[in-house]
Chains A and B, each alone.
Chain A
Amino acid sequence: MSMNGAKLQVKDYCLYYGQFQALCSVDIKIPANEITAIIGPSGCGKSTFLRTFNRMNDLIPGVRVDGEVLMDGADLFGMDQVELRRYVGMVFQRPNPFPKSIFDNVAYGPRVNGITDRGQLGEIVERSLRRAAIWDEVKDDLGKSALALSGGQQQRVCIARALAVQPEVILMDEPASALDPIATLRIEELIQQLKEDYTIVIVTHNMQQAARASDFTAFFMMNEDRGGYLVEYGPTKSLFTNPKHKQTEDYITGRFG
């Protein structure tokens, strides 16, 4: 398997909600500057797994983890979780801009991280909006509420908002599932451009999306106890054309899920 250096490395990772084991011994290496898709049936722990990397699961009471997760070789669970989230950004399933102006949405991250200079904030906002391919559409009404935009535009503002804190990894939790096909395509194009500078991990329900928009694909399933586990992981092309496991083949050919 040819890949760049591993940006994120997961070793024998398990996650429990109280007594329930939601993820069982996951081992995976996520390469830098590539798009890694996570696919699998509903309830297999894809989103929970994604939220490991910015430790959003820590917000849920009763969650316990086992195993090791490394970012650039450093233990993720040893870092300050607030600090970590500056380096690992996230885009959510439903566009969730704050009820603030477009400018304030994008400037929010830099501001909470201590940047107050108006000129500097302006530069960051413009750069982020350009990078998220939405600058031309909103440059004349940065003062307008972000909630007044269309769903696809809102999602790109949310991507710009994530880019504004200059993360290294961007997690995307079904970022296009609430959007129409054209908006979806724009988001996919955007993700392709972003991988030059960022490591992207994307959870998707849509297998065509995984097939056309990702470099590596991880397929998750659940066992008899409804615990999620990793079935197969590899370059997207080989996983889709030549799956090594029967379950993978059944899933990608649409026999279940």
Chain B
Amino acid sequence: MAREASIRQIGVRLSGGAQKSNIAQRHVIQQLAFALMWLAAILTVVVLLLVVGYVLVEGARVVDWEFLATPPRGGLSAEGGISTTLVTTVYLVLLTAAIAAPLGIGAAIYLVEYAGEGQGTSGLTAFLVSVARFGVELLAGVPSIIFGLFGYALFVVTLNALTGGFSLLSASLAGACLVLPVIIRASEEALRAVPRAYREGSLALGATKWQTIWQVVLPAAAPGIITGIVLSVGRIVSETAVFFVTLGGSHHAPQSIKQGGRTMALHVYYLAMDTRAFEKAMGTGAILIVTIVMINLAINLISRRLTAGLKGR
């Protein structure tokens, strides 16, 4: 009893005696805020499920083995399946990654290991580095159709003799421009996260800077770098604008990198706009969504595996 009384006394003293407790009111406000946030979260999930669910359910009606394994006939009839668009998507992803990954990782290594803070760069180098950094930021914000227009002007038209005009090569070069910022940023982040102690440990053993980067820093940064590459693969799979103006749109599978084709995402576009085969567009969309989900699962799996491997678990 005495204790309770003394607590009350303290309460009175703290609130200056005259102030009334507003604790009930503050609790109500908190509950209101939580309820609103909960509602927002639920709405987001519902919208997401509706979109994905609608496409999957609609698409599932036409998707079967035959749909996956037959090439589209082309033209307005929209008969046939999507086999060649699947193949084209795979080709395009591989070629784009092969172009963008070495460039992006190389640029990130330069920015972090050779021109990063504490490297004592000055004058021209420092200026060039800040220009490169700004360029990466800028590239990341450019709408994809601009990359498409650029790719059309440079690769399809100007370098026609080299790229074969509308072709896998033109499209992957333009696509590489699109995903470069993704790969550079992810790699930069991954490289920066490698502890200084690894670098010092390696240098102290008489390794050169390059040996240190190649044998210690890059393997330690691999999970982050691979995540960046897989993210950009997702970007390529879902991109339409860039490839609409660089890949040509043929429904045949390309026989060389100098021939065009259409990816699944482009196929959805053509089906929806040029034909009445809306259900086939949905079917292709469903496959597209499943692909994206699988890519995301792959990211998680790879980075978890690699990280566990590094930690020795």
Contact = CB atoms under 8 A, between A and B. Distances in A.
A86 B206 contact: yes
A148 B313 contact: yes
Contact of A60 (B118, B211, B215): B118
A240 interface: no
A72 to B, nearest CB: 17
A92 B201 contact: yes
Q: State the majority secondary structure of interface residues on B.
A: helix
A89 B198 contact: no
Contacts of B202: 98, 108, 112
Interface in A35-65: 54, 56, 59-62
Interface stretch (A158-166, A179-187, A193-201, A216-224): A158-166
Contact of B197 (A94, A111, A145): A94
A147 interface: yes
A203 to B, nearest CB: 14
Contacts of B219: 99-100
B204 interface: yes
B312 A92 contact: no
A91 to B, nearest CB: 9
Interface string A87-131: 001101010111110000000110111000000000000000000
Contacts of A97: 201
Nearest to B214: A112
A60 B196 CA distance: 12
A146 B312 contact: yes
B242 interface: no
Contacts of B120: 61-62
A144 to B, nearest CB: 6
B17 interface: no
A144 B207 contact: no
Interface in B184-224: 195, 197-198, 200-208, 211, 215-216, 219-220
B309 to A, nearest CB: 7
A82 interface: yes
B201 A96 contact: yes
B224 to A, nearest CB: 13
B205 A145 contact: no
B311 interface: yes
A113 B206 contact: yes
Interface residues of B, number: 25
A61 B118 contact: yes
B257 to A, nearest CB: 37
B19 interface: no
Interface in A5-58: 54, 56
Contacts of B22: none
Contacts of B198: 96, 98-99
B94 interface: no
Interface in A143-172: 144-148, 158, 161-162, 165
A23 to B, nearest CB: 20
B204 A85 contact: yes
A59 B205 CA distance: 14
Interface in B257-313: 309-313
A225 interface: no
A136 interface: no
Contacts of B21: none
A145 B215 contact: no
Contacts of A92: 197, 200-201, 204
A148 B310 CA distance: 9
26 contacts: A61-B118, A61-B120, A85-B205, A92-B201, A96-B197, A96-B201, A98-B198, A98-B220, A99-B198, A99-B220, A100-B219, A108-B205, A108-B215, A109-B207, A112-B205, A112-B207, A144-B312, A145-B309, A145-B312, A145-B313, A147-B310, A147-B312, A148-B312, A161-B201, A161-B205, A165-B206
Closest 3 CB pairs of A and B: A145-B312, A61-B120, A148-B312
